[in-house]
Each structure stands twice: as structure tokens, then as C-alpha cells.
Amino acid sequence: MQLYNTLSAEERAIMIDDAGKQRLTLSFYAYAKIQDPQKFRNDLFIAWNALDALGRIYVAHEGINAQMSVPAENFEAFRETLEAYDFMKGIRLNVAVEQDDHSFLKLTIKVRHKIVADGLNDETFDVTNIGVHLKAKEFNEILDDPNTIVVDFRNHYESEVGHFKGAITPDVETFRESLPIINEQLKDHKDDKNLVMYCTGGIRCEKASAYFKHHGFKNVYQLEGGIINYAKQLKEEGLESKFIGKNFVFDNRLGERITDDIISQCHQCGKPCDNHTNCENDGCHLLFIQCDDCKAAMENCCSTECLEIIHMPLVDQVRLRTGKQVGNKVFRKGKSENLKFKHSGELPETALATAQKPADIRQKIKVKKVLLGKAEHYYVKAQVGQFTIENQELNSGDKILISGPTTGDQEMILNRIIVNGAETQTAKIGDKVTFEVPFRIRLSDKLYKIVN
């Protein structure tokens, strides 16, 4: 009986591309009393693995919190696996505004002490005494009330790229930090103001609203389904968006656009930009905003120090980070003095630029292909790309596909290749190969051989 992943992310990505079927990114949560979280976890894994459902899910005695990717054709079957449990009958599924077949590449279900790390002792207050849920239209109306105070219960790196106009955006790195800060900041308005809160999908506000009602706030409201559901209702009902910018999400997309306004800057050069990335240095993986020009120049690194490190032999890189606590690599949120244009706390509400309309986030790949390797560098002036060959051989004359979230899918035929510094006809596993590429490539790009 399989209870854990057996495929790597790269293997799963190839399978998804080969299948060529639409997937839906969605999220949901439910507070409930679960007697045996481990059994609950195992039962879910078996059911979801059979449906090719992927994602990051936390379960605890207090409930479930899930962000997932599900094949569109299995959506109703997936819903049935939820409604097999009484506490999830009729549960709201927040379907993403923008879809990407590669939003999740593994099915990870973890048993935790809590489904959200809030730092609260639930025994000290009534966690079921929550605030009033507001739909998008009601939320817009209450924001226009001069007696309303709206609070963003997300973290600094989330609110920096997008937030509601007029919102208080605490300069915090964790949800638990924001609760006492907001309680102190608004202590004189417990009776005379509407305390209105929002977060990504609504789960943080469920606990936060109960916390603030316990601390004496009389008029507590929360955005039902968070920003994700708000954006969906905007489209369905033709409402004005009071949210400006991009909604940060915790999957491989790192964000979905709500409005075309770019309100943040590249942390390295200051150019208008709202695309998050992770530092390429395995000993850092700092989450920061980086434009395409800086991505090419800095090779996906947050600093010159990290840039130097990634060019060291692997054994030296491992030695440098031995004994150091890297933390949660994918979403390390710490700030850095190297990021000259990082903003937190009080944030602007005016657009610095307008986002260009992209094509589909990830075009369906309709050709038969084999993954060869990944991009290592792009020499801008020479228009030459460098790749590491990790699987099979690459030959002069092969038809290839270079694919990535920003690059899209670009096909070309190789007329000439340089392997480990010398011109030759064949590149084998482990070789560094360079060749002319008439378009900019990114470090997130993959190299495929087309075998139709």
C-alpha cells in the first residue's frame, strides 16, 4: 500500500506534460475534531493518489488545510472523497484565478500540531465564535464605510505585491506575529470601528476573528474565501476590484494576478516588478522579487556572494552550508540587506507599471519529448545558452524544445553545439553544452529533445 511519493518532481512534470490534460489548482480548509489524524492522513493519500491529485496538505486534530492540483476530469471524483466526511460535505473549494498544470508536483500530506501555526492556546477562547463572513460585494461596501479598519493578515512578502486599498499591512514574517501587534494598535477602537480582515483563502481569518472577538472587538468581519474567492466573485458579478496587484500563493506559481497593476519593485534594481523567485544558492534560497534582467545577470541569485557560491564545486558548496540551519528552503521569508528595494509595512497603492497580458501560464505541450537537462546560464550579448545534460544524449541536428513558465515553449533545430568548451557532434550525460539561442532563457527553463 503506497503512502508516500515515489516519483521526483521532474518525473512528475514529464508525466503531466505527456498526459496533456488540464489540471485545476484549488485550496480548501475545514476546522473539525479529528480523532486519529494519522489514519485520516493515510486514507486521504490512498484516495487522492488514485486520482492523480497533488498538493501540500496539513492535517491535525483541529482539521485540514490544503492547497492542491487536481486533473479537471477527476474534479467531481475528488469532491466525493471530501464529502465522504461529514465535516466536509458542501465544502467550498477555492479554484485558482490562474491555472498552471505544474503548480504542484508531489502529493505531500503532513500531520501537524495545528493546520495553521498561530501560536494560540485554543483552550483560552471560543474558536467557533468567529466574525461575520462577507462576500465580495458586501466586502466592497463595508470598505467604503469611514468607520471601517481593514487589516491584511498575511506576511510582508505577500502584501508587498498586492493588497486591498487602505489596508493595514503589518511588517511581519509569520501570522502569529500579527495578532498581538494589531490588538495593541487598534485597542482604542474595539467599540466604534468595524474590524475587517482578509487573507489568501480565509483560513487565517477564521482563527483571527475569534481571537479579536475574545479580546473585546464588537464588530468583526472577514472576507469569505479570502482573496482567491473574492477574485472569482469579481469576474462572476462584474464588480470593481478594491484589491490592487497580485495575490501571492504557496505553490510553484508564486502568485496569481488580480489586477494588471504592478505596485512593487525588483529588489535588486528597482524596476517595477512583482515576480517572486528563490535564490539559486542551495544554502540560501531567499524568497525575493527579481526582474528578468536581474535574473539573467545574477543567475537567479539574491547577491554577489550567492552568485560566487553557485559557481564553486559542489563539494565546496556543501562544505559552506554544513551545520547551518537553512529552514524551509522553498519559502524562506527572511529579509536581506542585499535587497535594496525591499518594502514592508506601509505600502503604496499607486501602480508603478501595468502588467503585460501573458499567454496561457503554461501552454499544453503536444509533442513527444524527452527531458535532457536544465538551463545553467544565458550570455546576453552573445545570445548563447548553456545547459547541463542530465538524461540521454544530445546531437547536432536534433530538434529541441526549451520550456519554462516565462519562456513558454520554444522549438529549434541545433546546427552547432559546443560541449565542455569544444565543438563536437554529441553531448552525453554530465556534459555542459552551449549553443546559440535567439531568445532569452531563464534558469527555470528545461531542455527537451523532440522525438516525434
Q: What is the pLDDT of residues 84-129, one digit of tens each?
A: 999 999 999 999 988 888 999 999 999 999 999 888 888 888 888 9
Q: Of 302, 314, 364, which Cα lies nearest the Cα of 338?
A: 302
User: Do the domain assignments include residue 337?
Assistant: no
Q: Which of 111, 143, 167 is the last residue of a domain?
A: 111
- For residues 71 and 126, membership in a common domain is answered with no
Show Cβ contacts of residue 135 under 8 Å, excluding neighbours closer than 6 positions: 224, 233
pLDDT for 364 equals: 41
Specify the residue for cell string 483552550. 123
Round to whole Å and give the CA distance between 297 and 247: 27
Which residues in the chain show pLDDT less than 70?
A: 1, 324-334, 357-367, 452
User: Do the domain assignments include residue 32?
Assistant: yes
Provide the domain limits for residue 168: 122-237
- CATH number, domain containing residue 195: 3.40.250.10
> Whole-prediction pTM value?
0.74
- CATH number, domain containing residue 415: 2.40.30.10
Q: Of 137, 297, 300, 127, which Cα lies nearest the Cα of 206?
A: 127
Q: Of 100, 160, 104, which Cα lies nearest the Cα of 333?
A: 160
- For residues 229 and 191, membership in a common domain is answered with yes
- For residues 70 and 151, membership in a common domain is answered with no
Q: What is the largest CA-CA distance in the chain?
A: 77
> Which grid coordinates are listed for 151?
487589516
Q: Of 242, 236, 250, which Cα lies nearest the Cα of 196?
A: 242
User: Do the domain assignments include residue 363?
Assistant: no
- For residues 33 and 129, membership in a common domain is answered with no
- For residues 174 and 130, membership in a common domain is answered with yes
> What phi, psi does 391 have (nearest 5°)?
-155, 130
User: Do the domain assignments include residue 198?
Assistant: yes
- CATH number, domain containing residue 80: 3.30.70.100
Round to whole Å and give the CA distance between 78 and 66: 13
- For residues 103 and 130, membership in a common domain is answered with no
146 SS3 class: coil
pLDDT for 334 equals: 66
Residue 411: count other Cβ atoms within 10 Å of its Cβ.
Answer: 13
User: Do the domain assignments include residue 93?
Assistant: yes
> Which grid coordinates are listed for 198?
482578509
In one-letter notation, the amino acid at residue 327 is: G
Show Cβ contacts of residue 219 under 8 Å, excluding neighbours closer than 6 positions: 193, 194, 195
- For residues 20 and 107, membership in a common domain is answered with yes
**Alpha-carbon distances, residue 106 vs 67, 152, 203, 284, 405 (angstroms):** 11, 30, 22, 23, 18
- For residues 70 and 130, membership in a common domain is answered with no
Active-site residue (options: 199, 266, 284, 302): 199
Q: Which of 90, 111, 132 is the last residue of a domain?
A: 111
- Look at the chain and report how many structural domains it folds into: 3
351 SS3 class: coil
- For residues 95 and 131, membership in a common domain is answered with no
User: Do the domain assignments include residue 271?
Assistant: no
80 SS3 class: helix
- For residues 375 and 432, membership in a common domain is answered with yes
Clarify whether 301 is annotated catalytic: no
> What phi, psi does 184 have (nearest 5°)?
-70, -40
User: Do the domain assignments include residue 194?
Assistant: yes
- For residues 79 and 56, membership in a common domain is answered with yes
pLDDT for 363 equals: 42
> What phi, psi does 130 have (nearest 5°)?
-95, 170
- For residues 379 and 416, membership in a common domain is answered with yes
Q: Which of 237, 262, 277 is the last residue of a domain?
A: 237
On whether the CB atoms of residues 292 and 440 are closer than 8 A, the answer is: yes
Q: What is the pLDDT of residues 130-169, one digit of tens each?
A: 999 999 999 999 999 999 999 999 999 999 999 999 999 9
> What phi, psi does 338 have (nearest 5°)?
-70, -20
On whether the CB atoms of residues 108 and 207 are closer than 8 A, the answer is: no
User: Do the domain assignments include residue 291?
Assistant: no
On whether the CB atoms of residues 395 and 426 are closer than 8 A, the answer is: yes
Q: How many CA atoms lie within 13 A of 150 on its CB side?
A: 19
